[in-house]
Amino acid sequence: MANDPKKNDKKAGKGVDPQEILAGFQTLRADQQKLSSKLSELELDQNEHKIVIETLKNVNEDRKCFRLVGGILTERKVKDVLPVLQSNSEKLGEIIEKLSEQITKKGQELNEYKEKYNIRFRGLDNPKEDAEPRNPEGGESSRGNVLVS
């Protein structure tokens, strides 16, 4: 217990640990990638819905069709399935819009975090600076920076 306040004092004096900064950045980046993959999945689902809707519009309403619901193939009529598919497609569109907004917000949060902790990517932000030797004494140029490779 006596060691805990000393560790907090050291951290308060130096600032945040670079590993913690990097972990926070990677967490934000992973969250954004998860949102992007979910968005791609939903867009594919919406495109499939649109294809099926366009196909069923040209079919007789009393014709039977099959629909997969929860892993079970059910037999229905086109007139019963078409409105449900259209409703689902509209809901998917709304969810896609909300998810796009969340991705944008996460991107802004990621950029703010990057600026706050002066995070740079090796070879991307300033290739000339990466070629220069670093000051091993921790001079003015390397203080407070986190380099991500």
Give the 3-state secondary structure percentages of the chain, helix then strand then coil, rounded to 5: 65, 10, 25
pLDDT at 125: 62
pLDDT (tens digit per residue) in 94-149: 999 999 999 999 999 999 999 999 988 888 766 565 455 555 554 455 556 777 76
User: Per-residue pLDDT averaged across 38-56, rounded?
Assistant: 97
Whether 77 has a pLDDT exceeding 70, the answer reads yes
Confidence band for 57, pLDDT divided at 50, 70 and 90: very high
pLDDT at 35: 98
User: Per-residue pLDDT averaged across 54-76, rounded?
Assistant: 95
Report the topology of domain 17-116: Helix Hairpins (1.10.287)
Whether 85 has a pLDDT exceeding 80, the answer reads yes
pLDDT at 9: 43
pTM comes to: 0.73
Whether 2 has a pLDDT exceeding 70, the answer reads no
pLDDT at 12: 45
User: Per-residue pLDDT averaged across 28-46, rounded?
Assistant: 98
* Domain layout of the chain by residue ranges: 17-116, 118-149
What burial class does residue 143 get, using C-beta atoms within 10 Å of its C-beta: 0-12 exposed, 13-18 middle, 19+ buried? exposed
Distances (CA, A) of 107 to 38, 45, 116: 15, 24, 14
pLDDT at 133: 54
